[in-house]
Copies of this chain bind each other. A is one copy, B any other.
Amino acid sequence: MRNIALIGMPATGKSSVGRQIALVLGLPFVDMDETIQSREDATIAEIFERHGEPHFRAIEEALIAEVTQAPGVVATGGGVVEREQNLQALRGWGWLVALIASPEAIARRVGRADQWPLLKGQVVENLQKLWARRSSKYLSADLVVDVGHEDVDGVVRKILGFLAEREPVASIDVNPGKAQPYRAVVGRGILGLLGHYAREAGLSGRAGILASPAAARRHGEQICDALQGAGLDPVLIEVPAGESVKTWESAGGLYGRLAREQIDRTGCLVAMGGEEVLDVGGFVAGTYMRGIPVVHVPTTLMAQLDSCIGGKVALNHFRAKNLIGFLHHPRLAVADVAAVGGSGARSMREGFAESVKYGVIADADLFAFLEAHAAELLDESGQRLPELVAWCLRTKARFVEEDEEGVGRRMLLNYGHTFGHAIEASTGFHRYTHGEAVAIGMTLAARVSAAMGLACESLETRQSALLRRFGLPTDFSGVATSRLVEALWRDKKRQGASLRFVLPNCVGRAEVRGDVPIELVARVLGEHGAAPERAPGA
């Protein structure tokens, strides 16, 4: 997200607008005139009087050099534009937004013009002179807003709308068969634009924001401001972190909370957090008052590049994860990669595991991108993350469009998951994260595929090397083969059909097979870490 410099005629509301924009975007705000007055301990009129305009302009120029060192929103003094070097510095730093109005309109706003030394005397006439001198500068800004007929909220909305369109975000359209089409927006530092995107998606009214404690702490205030700024009426509802939010009991408690907060069919839910919060948020939204819209705001990499589109919502049951669930597509998903920063390295690795999966089953170019940029992706600053998230979502959107219900091609998305679930279940869902289990599962599936003569030569090597570069495991330890086979068998029963595996053919292509010999499964499990059977009593 680029920074914002507000320029413009006097008394056009640069300070109020700048303060609100900064709040919504979560950036620091500098009001130049105020800063100068405070530092000089004098009003601008006084500085003009004592030291003359050139002195003031010099202070201004120094302050611009100072504020453009860091991210932020700055409201400049009206005369800043008269020095070309000021404009250049500001342009290099952020968006230039000009607030203008006719001299007559400004004169009406000003009333007494004491604080603007240049307007003293004949206000309208002076304004006309100012306009004649500066208008070409103002009109060359990136965005020009005539504030004559707008209040502050209206101006803020216009600027946020401009940003939402100009910022380098990726927009992925999802067109599921039966549900309403929607889009996922991916970018960096775009949480503050949530309100704008929500309005564009047709949302309004009371908005309940379900957020994990971490997400609420980091982003709660910002997205409340963003939604409020767009005319929605937000309320933050904190929910437990992790899998505990995905229980029947936890979900059941939310309906009363929503009713108490007076959320109704004219409003919506916003689910902000990892995939568990998205799951429970989607489930509750889809069943509250016969279904209200949900907006997904994922804050983990896996949730961003996978869970936030597709509409699968689910609760866990002690008999099986995700036993309870149905399809309720979000109305909008907003993935701000700046928000995954706090989720930790292990959580990031989960996301990378899913992205490797997308590469193997559907997109050799994505796989090559991962190979080429693994180091940059792992880097703290993660410059390549938006590209990765958008790429994975685009891949997933194609699957969802071709097979909304997940009975055909969408089954490929289970690559690594059959083995992965068995490993998770046999280790009590504690030892490995879902992503780690999927990484091991993909390794096993690739091995099975190779043993059956279905995989091209380089597949296993490339996949394992890439998984390891992301710090993901490719084998496991300490679980007896029989327990894993048993877990696989339970899965088969749940599917109500033969045990099916997604087997990769080469990087970028995979198939669903129902004819994998169980002996081969057991052998591969043994090779990759399953402990051999112990004799009874041994």
Contact = CB atoms under 8 A, between A and B. Distances in A.
Given A266-B496, A496-B205, A326 B286 contact: yes
A286 B318 CA distance: 19
Interface stretch (A257-265, A466-474, A519-527): A257-265
B248 A320 contact: no
A475 to B, nearest CB: 31
A262 B493 contact: yes
Nearest to A406: B290
A206 B121 CA distance: 90
A291 interface: yes
A283 B315 CA distance: 14
Contact of A255 (B178, B255, B323, B496): B323
Interface residues of A, number: 40
A319 interface: yes
Contacts of A314: 290
Contact of A248 (B178, B252, B406, B493): B252
Most chain B CB atoms below 10 A, which of A178, A287, A328, A494: A287
Contacts of A266: 496-497
A324 interface: yes
Contact of A496 (B249, B267, B319): B267
A312 interface: yes
Contacts of A461: none
Interface string A304-322: 0000000010100111100
Interface string A264-286: 11110000000000000001001
Contacts of A318: 256
B327 A290 contact: yes
A310 to B, nearest CB: 12
Nearest to A251: B248
Contact of A319 (B248, B256, B328): B256
A497 B289 CA distance: 14
B259 A317 contact: yes
A289 B494 contact: yes
Contacts of A262: 493
A288 interface: yes
A495 interface: yes
Contact of A287 (B205, B325, B494): B325
B259 A320 contact: yes
B264 A323 contact: no
A384 B291 CA distance: 38
Interface string A491-531: 00111110000000000000000000000000000000000
Nearest to A254: B324
Contacts of A288: 323-324
Contacts of A206: 496
Contact of A312 (B267, B290, B497): B290
A259 B323 contact: yes
A87 to B, nearest CB: 48
A308 to B, nearest CB: 18
A494 B290 CA distance: 12
Interface in A453-471: none
A52 B18 CA distance: 114
A374 to B, nearest CB: 34
Given A252-B248, A255-B317, A291 B326 contact: yes
Interface of A: 178, 205-206, 248-249, 252, 255-256, 259-260, 262, 264-267, 283, 286-291, 312, 314, 317-320, 323-328, 406, 493-497
21 contacts: A178-B178, A206-B496, A256-B317, A256-B318, A256-B319, A259-B320, A259-B323, A264-B495, A265-B495, A265-B496, A267-B496, A283-B287, A286-B326, A287-B287, A287-B324, A287-B326, A289-B323, A289-B494, A290-B314, A290-B326, A290-B327
Complex A-B, nearest 3 residue pairs according to Cβ-Cβ distance, in ascending order: A264-B496, A266-B496, A248-B252
Given A178-B178, A267-B496, 13 more contacts: A205-B496, A206-B496, A248-B255, A256-B317, A260-B319, A264-B495, A283-B287, A286-B326, A287-B287, A288-B323, A289-B325, A290-B314, A290-B327
